Structure 1
Amino acid sequence: MSSTDAWALHRPGGRDVAIMAVAVVGVSLSGPMTALVAAPALAIAFWRNAAGAAALLPVLLTRERAATRGLRWRDLLSSVVGGLFLAGHFAAWLPSLSMTTVAASIALVTTTPIWTALAARLSGVRLPAQVWWGLVLAVGGVALIAGVDVTVSWTALAGDGLALLGAIAAAGYVLAGAKARQTLSTSAYAVVCYSTCAVVVAVAALAVGVPLTGFSARDWWLIAGITVVAQLLGHTLFNLVLSTVGPTVVGLAILLEVPGALLVALVLLQQLPPLLALPGMALVVVGVALVVRASRPPTVVEPLT
């Protein structure tokens, strides 16, 4: 099946909406929980991916074992590419948080659905104008929630560039996943993708001297919780619907993590939301609604030259 078919924009059904709702809750819990962990960010990224792959391996070897018969290396290639992009996302975005403002980093890294939509358009999928308006409104809403404060310096500029690179890498991750899920089960894709990401992140952590062990019991429990809510209920459920709704809808749904995390932080951490949070949330919801409403079986055109 071609990338045009895999990257098409489809209106989610009731089952897809329910699955994505649970996934949004999962990833929304990730940020506030990660803020409570003293362990380095790269260590968290390694363990959530390694543990996520280990948790799904029994499913792959038992319930979905039949789906692995006859698989060839090229069938797994998109999964490996997805894992490399996911590792690139972590490697680019995490350093940006300390180089530019957190607000600017979040606003830039959440441009992921715009990049997936551009890739779909370049592959030959014609997207309605309403989809582009929805994407702009949703990303603009995230920027309002983050309360972007522009900082002019070479370091901040480099951090902004890394955050943008993290968004592009995240788009590559969901695009590769959409292609892989055309031929692979969710567990087969996730095990290969998460394992690849864990290996690359581990090598990067060792290269820069970031420890992967030696944390407190509290940190280990929090990392286990992050693995369950963010990796298994979040990423894996999003990967489950990639083959039915397409990467742009999934990327847009992930944007709901920002207002979701804000609400979770309000309840768990007693952190008051910024002044522009409510209008920002409204823009995100309206933007998502516009894209979903405009979603329909795509019209394929010749790729742009």
Structure 2
Amino acid sequence: MTSRLQLPLVLTVGVLAVSCAAVLIRFASNAHPEHTPLFSLVIAAGRLTLASLVLLPFTLRGLAKHRLSGRAWGFTVASGVLLALHFMTWITSLSYTSIASSTALATTTPVWVALIAWIFLKNPPTLQTVIGIVVALGGGALVAFGQETTATAPDPLFGNLLALVGAMCAGGYFMLGRQAQHLGVPTQLYAGLAYGAAAVTLLPMPLIFGVGYQAPLEAYFWIALLALIPQLIGHTSFNWAMKQMNPTLVSLLILLEPVGSSVLAILFFREFPTLQVVMGGVVLLLGVAVASFPGRTKAQPA
């Protein structure tokens, strides 16, 4: 039994922790002397590598206990590659567009999950989900075309496109991870292996694209905080909360991340979203909430 204050406190800490991600990424990018968008590859590789190292003891223990099939390995590694693509595109988007626009578009992941399940798994969505998807896509269009060009958003349309691609990759990551776990991969072991596959995918990227790993210590300080606060504290808080309350409600609370990120962007960078971005963000989050919330469905045989 948890106290009355413990659950709200953990959820508050979780929302605040994940809301810090975009701001920490911007701090890390600004610490690079050349301010190159390609430094996002280093940020993504650092975040996933540190997370993988933290989970390594549990991953090795899980591999010793469980024997995975070839298909399970395939789905797990493929999901890790998509996770790497998610972080590559989303983190890079923050070099081109505002934090408010990027984080709002990144929350469309549940929409893409529903569409992937419909197209590839022949699992048609309910009418409620379809309505939510249409509303979310309409709000997303307002966000995508509503950001003005500024010093912190030099190419908002391109940045918004990257954020949207990142959300699509995250949707594929979740669906492949679901298949891997259905094939017998325990959740904790899956997380460690997927993070590891993502880290292996990302580590050579800075060298391939010529940016390298040379950067001020300050940049790596922000990257370490990125792995610690949003990844470990934030995600751990939500995972714990899902065992204490309805998982759907926890998922809906995660939609507060763009709100928290936008407030932090105003405080630290004086980055005020346009009225169209705010209106589009509200519509987008409402659509995602409608699409994510379970409606009444007919009982089906197991």
Instruction: Name the SS of the counterpart of 1:211 in structure 2.
Output: coil
| Shift in CA distance, 288/169, structure 1 to aligned 2, threshold 3 Å | closer
Identity of aligned residues (%): 34
Q: Does residue 1:116 correspond to 2:113, yes or no?
A: yes
Q: Does residue 1:230 correspond to 2:230, yes or no?
A: yes
Give the match for residue 71 of structure 2: 74
Cα shift readout 1:144-169 (whole Å, capped 9, x = no counterpart): 56762489xxx988766655433322
For 1:104 and 1:292, the matched residues in 2 are separated by 20
Give the match for residue 205 of structure 2: 204
CA shift, 1:231, in A, is 2.2
Instruction: Name the SS of the counterpart of 1:71 in structure 2.
Output: coil
CA shift, 1:193, in A, is 1.1
| Shift in CA distance, 23/137, structure 1 to aligned 2, threshold 3 Å | farther
Instruction: Name the SS of the counterpart of 1:181 in structure 2.
Output: helix
Give the match for residue 23 of structure 2: 32
Cα shift readout 1:163-205 (whole Å, capped 9, x = no counterpart): 5433322221121122223332333112111111112112221
| 2:69 partner amino acid | R
Instruction: Name the SS of the counterpart of 2:204 in structure 1.
Output: helix
Q: Does residue 1:52 correspond to 2:51, yes or no?
A: yes
For structure 1, the 5+ residue unaligned runs are 1-15, 301-305
| 1:172 partner amino acid | G
TM-score relative to the length of structure 1: 0.70
8 Å contact from structure 1 (residues 137, 287) kept in 2: yes
Give the match for residue 265 of structure 1: 265
For 1:236 and 1:133, the matched residues in 2 are separated by 31
For 2:262 and 2:232, the matched residues in 1 are separated by 21
For 1:161 and 1:272, the matched residues in 2 are separated by 20
| Shift in CA distance, 212/274, structure 1 to aligned 2, threshold 3 Å | same
8 Å contact from structure 1 (residues 256, 284) kept in 2: no
For 1:120 and 1:23, the matched residues in 2 are separated by 28
CA shift, 1:107, in A, is 6.2
8 Å contact from structure 1 (residues 107, 139) kept in 2: no
Q: Does residue 1:84 correspond to 2:81, yes or no?
A: yes
CA shift, 1:116, in A, is 1.3
| Shift in CA distance, 46/262, structure 1 to aligned 2, threshold 3 Å | same
| Shift in CA distance, 198/117, structure 1 to aligned 2, threshold 3 Å | same
| 2:132 partner amino acid | G
CA shift, 1:286, in A, is 3.2
| Shift in CA distance, 260/72, structure 1 to aligned 2, threshold 3 Å | same
8 Å contact from structure 2 (residues 101, 277) kept in 1: no
8 Å contact from structure 1 (residues 48, 227) kept in 2: yes
Total equivalences in the alignment: 277
For structure 2, the 5+ residue unaligned runs are 1-6, 33-38, 150-154
| 2:129 partner amino acid | V
Partner of residue 148 from structure 1, selected from 141, 146, 149 = 146
After superposition, the CA RMSD in angstroms is: 4.2
> How is 1:1-305 mapped onto 2 (pairs within 5 angstroms)?
23-37=14-28, 38-39=31-32, 40-61=39-60, 65=62, 68-95=65-92, 110-122=107-119, 123-141=121-139, 144=142, 148-149=146-147, 162-182=162-182, 183-216=184-217, 218-234=218-234, 255-276=255-276, 279-280=279-280, 282-295=282-295
For 1:146 and 1:157, the matched residues in 2 are separated by 6
| 1:32 partner amino acid | V
For 1:147 and 1:161, the matched residues in 2 are separated by 10
